[in-house]
């Protein structure tokens, strides 16, 4: 696309509850925040953003035209490293900082496993607290 002056940037978009934190490709911080709020069901003004990559050299995006969420393969193409993960939660490292996907999906999955274990008689009720997990996972944020 000759003459295309759009400058796509990569933002880390997060909310106070850290329920759905992840990367968004967008032309501006306000566009990234608005997309995240709408897509994840947050209210206007709930999301914050941090610029991570000023000028994204990619021309195609897995999730369509920006604004859109980034996928791991796109992040790897931009120089991110896989930082490991816990079930249902991605983690990447870039320029010395670790970014961990929002905890909501991970909490739901862990709660499901906990309930399944309790029903099967494998765990005592209260042996695992969902309140403990967010603190553990937030410590991983850079």
Confidence of residue 130 (pLDDT cuts 50, 70, 90): very low
Q: Output the six-digit token pair for 71.
A: 């996928």
Q: What is the pTM of this model?
A: 0.71
Q: Over the stretch 59-88, which tens digit does the pLDDT of each residue have?
A: 999 999 999 999 999 999 999 999 987 767
Cross-strand bridge partners of residue 69: 24
Residue 122 has a pLDDT of 57
Instruction: Answer with the residue of higher pLDDT: 105 or 59.
Output: 59
Question: Residue 68 is encoded by which pair of tokens?
Answer: 């859109």
Q: How far apart are CA 137 and CA 103, in angstroms?
A: 7
Measured between alpha carbons, how far is 83 from 93 in angstroms, rounded to an integer?
6
Give dist(CA 107, CA 130) in Å, integer: 7
Alpha-carbon span 127 to 22, nearest angstrom: 30
Q: Band the pLDDT of 102: cuts 50, 70, 90.
A: confident
* pLDDT digits 0-9 by tens, 4-33: 567 999 999 999 988 899 999 999 999 999
Burial class for 67, CB neighbours closer than 10 Å (0-12, 13-18, 19+): buried
Judge contact between 32 and 26, C-beta under 8 A: yes
Neighbours of 76 (CB within 10 A): 12
């Amino acid at each position: 696309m000759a003459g295309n002056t759009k400058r796509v940037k990569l933002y880390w978009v997060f909310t106070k509850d850290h329920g759905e934190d992840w990367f968004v490709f967008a032309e501006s911080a306000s566009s990234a925040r608005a997309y995240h709020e709408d897509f994840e069901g947050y209210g206007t003004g709930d999301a914050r953003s941090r610029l991570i990559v000023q000028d994204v050299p990619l021309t195609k995006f897995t999730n369509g035209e920006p604004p859109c969420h980034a996928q791991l393969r796109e992040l790897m193409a931009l120089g991110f490293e896989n930082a490991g993960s816990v079930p249902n939660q991605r983690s990447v490292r870039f320029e010395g900082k670790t970014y961990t996907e929002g905890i909501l999906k991970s909490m739901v999955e862990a709660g499901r496993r906990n309930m399944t274990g309790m029903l099967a008689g494998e765990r005592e009720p209260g042996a695992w607290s969902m309140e403990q997990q967010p603190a553990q996972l937030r410590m991983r944020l850079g």
